[in-house]
């Protein structure tokens, strides 16, 4: 393998995507938000009222799902069967079900295969929950991000209310706790820190400071 792979994992709303995006831009890597893929699958399941217990229905639905990322200068669009669902997948309705959908073995198998394909050729930064452990255990650089739960809830609350969603801080906190619990206790590739990951607690760091730290880690490994 000639390409460089950076895996960024951590709990919900730690700012993984923000760092990953900035990093990809600076290094001219491809950025892939793996959580967006699970969110798109969840949206499809909700729309088609897929019974999560029904393995045949789940497999059949997965076969009908095509997910594409379309890069733009402003932001990357996520297409679900050709439809731009970038905004819809961020809504609370999707957030409320995404961890249940993501815990399903068949869903993970399908998504992990697609993610591995994306990392075959190009230099890539991928963020998620199991990127350094399951998707790319051989990643060249692994970052595990954490942040104070109150800081995380405030960030997510600001993000959602800025988009006009009417939601309380309590709901946001409950959703983060709910997802973190399911994500770290599921049997299929649970969220956990890879042994060789660099831990980045960004509770008190600016985005610029975070980027500098990660770029430093990249440069250390690049010169090896
Ligand atoms: O990253 P984001 O918070 O958008 O991810 C939404 C959800 O997708 C997570 O709470 C988790 O349940 C699931 N996910 C996952 N594995 C990944 C990325 C996300 O299970 N690699």
Best residue among 12, 95, 100, 102 to mutate for probing ligand 1's pocket (most ligand atoms within 8 Å of CB) is 102
Closest atom of ligand 1 to 33 CA is 1
Element (H, E) at 65: none
Beta carbon of 183 within 6 Å of any ligand 1 atom:
yes
Residue 44 pLDDT level (bands cut at 50, 70, 90): very high
Q: Does the ipTM exceed 0.95? A: yes
- Residue 102 assigned to a binding site: no
Supply the pLDDT for residue 126.
98
Pairing of strands 141-146, 198-201: parallel
Please state the rounded mean pLDDT for residues 141-165. Answer: 94
Distances (CA, A) of 167 to 17, 40, 182, 191, 198: 22, 21, 22, 26, 34
């Amino acid at each position: 393998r000639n390409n460089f792979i950076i895996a960024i994992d951590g709990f919900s709303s730690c700012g993984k995507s923000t760092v990953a995006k900035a990093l990809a831009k600076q290094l001219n890597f491809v950025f892939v938000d793996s959580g967006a893929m699970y969110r798109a699958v969840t949206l499809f399941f909700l729309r088609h009222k897929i019974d999560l217990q029904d393995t045949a229905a789940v497999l059949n639905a997965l076969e009908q799902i095509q997910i594409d990322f379309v890069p733009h200068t402003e932001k990357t669009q996520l297409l679900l069967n050709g439809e731009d669902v970038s905004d819809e997948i961020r809504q609370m309705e999707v957030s409320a079900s995404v961890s249940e959908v993501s815990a399903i073995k068949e869903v993970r198998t399908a998504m992990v295969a697609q993610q591995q394909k994306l990392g075959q050729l190009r230099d890539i930064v991928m963020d998620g929950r199991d990127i350094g452990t399951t998707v790319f255990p051989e990643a060249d650089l692994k970052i595990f991000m954490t942040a104070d739960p109150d800081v995380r809830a405030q960030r997510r609350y600001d993000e959602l209310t800025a988009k006009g969603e009417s939601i309380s801080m309590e709901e946001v906190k409950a959703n983060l706790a709910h997802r973190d619990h399911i994500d770290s206790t599921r049997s299929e590739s649970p969220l956990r820190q890879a042994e060789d990951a660099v831990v980045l607690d960004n509770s008190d760091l600016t985005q610029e400071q975070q980027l500098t730290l990660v770029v430093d880690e990249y440069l250390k490994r690049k010169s090896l």
